[in-house]
A and B are shown apart, each in its own frame.
Chain A
Amino acid sequence: MTSVRRIATAALVTGAFVLTLTACGPKPDPVHKEQILSMGTLVNITLWGVNDKLAQKAFSAANEDFNYMQTAYNPWKPGPMGRTNQLLALDAWFSANPSILPLIKRAKTLYHSSDGLFDPAIGRLIGLWGFHSDTLPKGPPPKQAAIERLLAEHPTMDDVEIKGIRMRATNAAVQVDTGGFAKGYAVDRVVDHLRRLGVHNAIVDAGGDLRAIGSRGGAPWRIGIRDPGGKGILAEVDVKGDQSVFTSGVYERFYTYHGKRYHHIIDPRTGYPARGTTSATVIGTDGTVADAAATALLIAGPSQWHHIAESMGVKYAMLVASDGTVYMNPAMAKRIHFQHKPAKVVVSKPL
Chain B
Amino acid sequence: MTRADVVVLVLALALLPLLYVKFWHHGAAGEQVRIRVDGKPWKVVSLAHDRRVTVPGALGDSVLEIKDGAVRFIASPCASKFCIHSGWLHDGGAFTACLPNRVSIEVIGARARYDAINF
Contact = CB atoms under 8 A, between A and B. Distances in A.
Contacts of A44: 95, 116
Interface footprint category on A: 35 or more
Given A10-B11, A14-B8, A35-B36, A254 B115 contact: no
Interface string B12-31: 10010011001100000000
Interface stretch (B47-55, B60-68, B99-107): B99-107
B39 A35 contact: yes
Contact of B87 (A7, A135, A232, A236): A232
Interface residues of B, number: 41
- Where chain B touches its partner, the secondary structure class is mixed
Contacts of B113: 222, 224, 236
A46 B82 contact: no
B14 to A, nearest CB: 8
B39 A245 contact: no
Contact of A224 (B7, B18, B88, B116): B116
Interface in B84-119: 85-91, 93-95, 97, 99-100, 102, 104, 113-119
Contacts, number: 128
A7 B7 CA distance: 6
Q: Which of A18, A42, A222, A228 has the most CB of B within 10 A?
A: A42
Contacts of A6: 2-4, 7
A216 B113 CA distance: 13
A225 B102 CA distance: 23
A216 B88 CA distance: 27
A303 interface: no
Contact of A9 (B4, B94, B97): B4
A44 to B, nearest CB: 7
Interface string A240-276: 0000011101011111000000000000000000000
17 contacts: A6-B4, A10-B11, A35-B104, A42-B39, A205-B116, A205-B118, A208-B117, A208-B119, A223-B114, A224-B113, A224-B114, A227-B87, A231-B88, A232-B94, A233-B91, A233-B114, A236-B113
Interface of B: 2-5, 7-8, 11-12, 15, 18-19, 22-23, 36, 38-39, 79-80, 82, 85-91, 93-95, 97, 99-100, 102, 104, 113-119
